[in-house]
Amino acid sequence: MLNAIQDYVTYLREVRQISYNTEISYERDLRKAAEYFDGQGILRPEDVTVTALNSYLLALERENMAPATVSRNIASMRSFFQYLQRNHVIEEDPSESLRPPKVEKKKTELLTIDEVRRLLQETNPSTDKGMRDRVMISMLYCTGIRISEMIHLKVGNVNLSMGYIRCTDGRKERMLPVDVDMCRLLELYMGEPRTRMLKGQNSEYLFCNCSGTPMSRQGFWKVIKSYADMAGIDKDVTPRIMHDSFETHMIRNDGDVHQIHQQLGHMEMVPQSASSMQYS
């Protein structure tokens, strides 16, 4: 059994060229199944029956495995046995009738205005990092920008006088409007805070980390998760949820962005030093 699994994993890696993480998952699932079948006296792939497969799935459920994990194991086995059938190792595919368990979709929990306010309040705009974080979280909430677009933003993509940013994720380009309050935050950050964070390095990218190099997707994930924890928000705060929350708040406020900013607390979102800036 293990030799057949190794041949299949080699096929996935060299022919299908799947990702390393996917390869590891498939191999782990199949080796676990092989260990179970070995204990049942089933040593060859061609000896695996529908009954044996269903028995294995019941064993997984008895281990209190989550439905999503059981579904992944089923997908691994189906792919494995389809490969064996194509290569004439087995005549019939015993996994053909396997059906994954129903996975309950979690109801998306949107953020309230108060939770967004608390998230922003945890940032400290009197520090360079705090100002950067406030700008990034505000931009994520108020513009619908994607993380991939935000971390690739360059200084030249920001037009404060016209109130827009030009976004690209490497494939598509789009323009996003930026309101006056967001422009004020951006101008503050693009002054001394960003310059100090670059630590003497030259960079065309708008957002950098504390070592002066461009912010990564993983780096920003850690930032937003840490602020959510600090704010005591017991929800999975994702970019999608933040954007959906903003759209819901817009509907409730008849599309008035300024009204949303007032509910957030205008002087909390935009530091007072920015209140005198004017944009045309």
pLDDT band at 280 (very low <50, low <70, confident <90, very high): very low
158 and 248, same domain (yes or no): yes
**pLDDT number for residue 277:** 41
43 and 161, same domain (yes or no): no
Residue 238 lies in a domain: yes
Is residue 31 scored above 90 in pLDDT? yes
Based on the structure, what is the number of domains in the chain? 2
Give bridge partners of residue 176 from the DSSP assignment.
165
Residues 233 and 168 sit within 8 Å (Cβ to Cβ): no
- Structure confidence by residue, pLDDT tens digits, 71-93: 888 888 999 999 999 999 998 89
Instruction: Give the whole-number percent of the chain exceeding pLDDT 70.
Output: 89
Residue 147 lies in a domain: yes
143 and 77, same domain (yes or no): no
Tokens of 113: 């205005």
User: How many other C-beta atoms can be found within 10 angstroms of the C-beta atom of residue 147?
Assistant: 20
Query: Helix, strand, or coil here: 83?
Result: helix
Residue from 226, 192, 194, 224 nearest 208 by CA? 194
User: How many other C-beta atoms can be found within 10 angstroms of the C-beta atom of residue 156?
Assistant: 9
Whole-angstrom distance, CA of residue 62 vs CA of residue 39:
17
77 and 146, same domain (yes or no): no
Q: What is the pTM of this model?
A: 0.58
Q: Which strands make up the sheet holding 173-177, listed edge to edge?
A: 158-159, 164-168, 173-177
**pLDDT number for residue 157:** 92
239 and 178, same domain (yes or no): yes
Domain span at 158 = 113-274
Residue from 27, 82, 29 nearest 56 by CA? 29
Is residue 45 scored above 80 in pLDDT? yes
What secondary structure does DSSP assign to 190-201, as a single string? HTHHHHHHTTT-
CATH code where residue 39 lies: 1.10.150
DSSP 159: E
Residue 279 phi, psi dihedral angles, 5° rounding: -130, 140
**pLDDT number for residue 101:** 76
260 or 55, which is more confident: 55
- Average pLDDT rounded to a whole number, residues 31-35: 92
Residues 231 and 119 sit within 8 Å (Cβ to Cβ): yes
Whole-angstrom distance, CA of residue 24 vs CA of residue 237:
29
- Structure confidence by residue, pLDDT tens digits, 155-177: 999 999 999 999 876 667 889 88
78 and 117, same domain (yes or no): no
Can you tell me which residue has the tokens 């390393």? Answer: 20
Whole-angstrom distance, CA of residue 157 vs CA of residue 154:
5
CATH code where residue 172 lies: 1.10.443.10
Averaged pLDDT of the chain: 84
pLDDT band at 269 (very low <50, low <70, confident <90, very high): low
127 and 81, same domain (yes or no): no
DSSP 87: T
**pLDDT number for residue 105:** 62
137 and 202, same domain (yes or no): yes
Instruction: Give the whole-number percent of the chain exceeding pLDDT 90.
Output: 31
- Structure confidence by residue, pLDDT tens digits, 228-264: 999 999 888 887 788 788 888 888 777 677 677 777 7
